[in-house]
Amino acid sequence: MSQQAIVQPAPGKPAKHRSLGANIFLQAAGAGEFRIGAVIFVGVILLSIIAPTLLGLSATKFNVGLKFSPPFPVEGWVWPHFFGTDQLGRDLLVRSLIGLRNALMIGIASVIGMFVIGSAIGMVAGYVGGWTNLILMRITDAQMSIPVIILAITILGVTRPTPLTVILVFILAGWPGYARIARSATMSERRKEYVRAAKILGATDLRVLLVHIAPNILPPVAFVAVLDVARMMIFEAILGFIGIGIQPPTPTFGTIIADGTKYLLNAWWITTIPGLLLAVSLCSINLMGGALERSRNKILQGVS
């Protein structure tokens, strides 16, 4: 880099007119890991939309005669139950796909929630500074001092968990992280000359925050939030496993895996196969998120 810095850029090269967010996205989209992730992700989503109707299967219908049917290549599997069936003869593929859909919805909804709340609070704290900053940041300190799981266990363990309470708990646990990032980004942005210039022109604080600062700091944060969707999906599975997530009969990965533990030795697939699907989906999200994070780091550090 130091070598590049001392060489003047070639003159006459037309600059590309794109926003920061588009630049990050396009650079990430060029990376191999992003493409692999995207292909897998789209495949899994399509599968979860098409497969249940195509195979004509239901997630909740029992068929005791078909119980403990093993998955596809294992001897004794029954068409069309590629993933096998559970102790009640329910099809595991469809149950997993619906679980995936729920997990994804909860993951996305909670990340959007924590992103919006966290960024808003962080930007205000970073911009206003002084006491507001101090108090808000000590609150996030406090919040971050409780492990997510303890908070979730405490709240969900003593109330009745519904999808909404699960999302709310995740938002409650996750916003401080976003507040911190938004705060430090705002603080460094606030010192930049163009913000000073806008204030000298007479722009109000709200206008400076919304028109000038937000479009510059939020896209990079939003891209990295993709990684958090995957994290929240794991948390959702954990809560379901402990029994304080979304309650049966709605299938979630957590409940499916927990059901399977009793039969781990004789019907290992009930636990492992749906978990594998979850892991593959998460991996696709993480590959995309990782690529976005790297291209963000590169662009923000000015290495191109």
Partner 1 sequence: MLFAIDFFTRRLAQGAIIVVAIALLIFTLLRVVPGDPVRLMLGPMVSATVAEETAKELGLRDPIIVQFGRYIGQVLQGDFGRSFVRSAQGGSTGGSRGESTFDASNRAPVIDLIATTLPYSLLLAGLAFLISLAVALPLGIWAGLNAGKWPDRLALYLSSILVSLPNVWLGLVFIFLISAKAGWLPAIGYQNWTYAILPALVLAVELIPVIVRSVSVSVSSNLLEPYVSVGQIRGLTRRRMIIAHVLRNSSIPLLNLLGIQAVGLVLGALFVVEYLFNYPGIGLLMINAVFQRDFPIIQAIAIFSCAALVVVNILVDFASTTIDRRLQY
Partner 2 sequence: MSVGGTKILDVSGLSVDLVMSGGGRRPILHNVDLSVSHNEVLGIIGESGSGKTVLSRALVNWISPPLVAKGGKISYHGRNLFDLPPDEMQTLRGRKIAYIGSDPGSALDPTVPIGQQIIEKLRAVEPGISTSEARARVLRVLDAVRIPSPAQRFHEFPFQFSGGMMQRVLIVDALVTNPDLLVADNITQPLDVTVAAQILRLLRDLQRDFNTAIIFVSSALGVLNDIADNILVLADGRVVERQQTRSLIDKPEHNYTRNLIASLPRIWEAEPVTTAPAEVVDDSREVILSVRDVYRSYETKDRERLFAHKVVQAVRGVSFDVYKGDNLGIVGESGCGKSTLSRLLSRLEAPNRGQILFKGQDIAHLGSRKLLDLRRRFQLLLQDPYNAIPPHLSIGRTIAEPLRIHGGLSTKEIAEKVASTMNEVGLRTELTDKLPVGLSAGQRQRVNIARAMVLDPELLILDETLSALDQVEQGKLLDLFERLQNRHGITYVYISHDLSMVRRVCNRVAVMYLGRVAELAGNEATFFDPAHPYTRALLSAVPAIEHKPYDTTTYLLEGEPPDPIDIPPGCSFRTRCPFAFDRCATDDPMLMKRSGEDFAACHLVSAGHSAPMTMPAVNLRGP
Residue among 219 and 275 whose Cβ is closer to partner 1: 275
H/E segment holding residue 266: none
Q: Which amino acid is at 86?
A: D
Are 280 and 97 contacting, i.e. CB atoms less than 8 angstroms apart? no
Is residue 148 a contact partner of residue 235, using CB atoms and an 8 Å limit?
Answer: yes
Q: At residue 33, what are phi and psi to the nearest 5 degrees?
A: -65, -30
The contacts of residue 281 (CB under 8 Å, 6+ apart) are 40, 41, 44, 100, 104, 233
Of 223 and 241, the one with the shorter C-beta distance to partner 2 is 223
| Beta carbon nearer to partner 2, 158 or 201 | 201
CB of 4 to partner 1, least distance (A): 11
The CB density around residue 20, as the number of other CB atoms within 10 Å, is 16
Fill in the per-residue mask, 202 to 241: x = in contact with partner 2 (CB under 8 A), - = not in contact. Answer: xxx--x---xx--xx-------------------------
Given partner 1, partner 2, none, residue 149, with its beta carbon under 5 to 8 Å by kind, binds partner 1
In this complex, which beta carbon is closest to partner 2, that of residue 129 or of residue 243? 129
- Min. distance of Cβ 267 from partner 1 in angstroms? 11
Q: How many residues bind partner 2 (CB under 8 A)?
A: 30
Distance, CA of 283 to CA of 41 (rounded, Å): 9
Q: Is 10 in the site for partner 2 (CB under 8 A)?
A: yes
Distance (Å, whole) CA 39 – CA 276:
17
Q: What does the binding site for partner 1 look like in residue numbers (CB under 8 A)? A: 1-2, 33, 138, 141-142, 144-150, 153-155, 157-159, 230, 234, 237-238, 241-242, 244, 253-254, 257, 260-261, 264-265, 268, 271-272, 275, 278-280, 282-283, 285-287, 290, 294, 297, 301, 303
8 Å CB contact between 47 and 67: no
User: How remote is the C-alpha of 104 from its chain's centroid?
Assistant: 8
279 binds, among partner 1, partner 2, none (CB under 5 to 8 A by kind): partner 1
Q: What are the residues binding partner 2 (CB under 8 A)?
A: 3-4, 6-8, 10, 14-20, 192-194, 196-204, 207, 211-212, 215-216
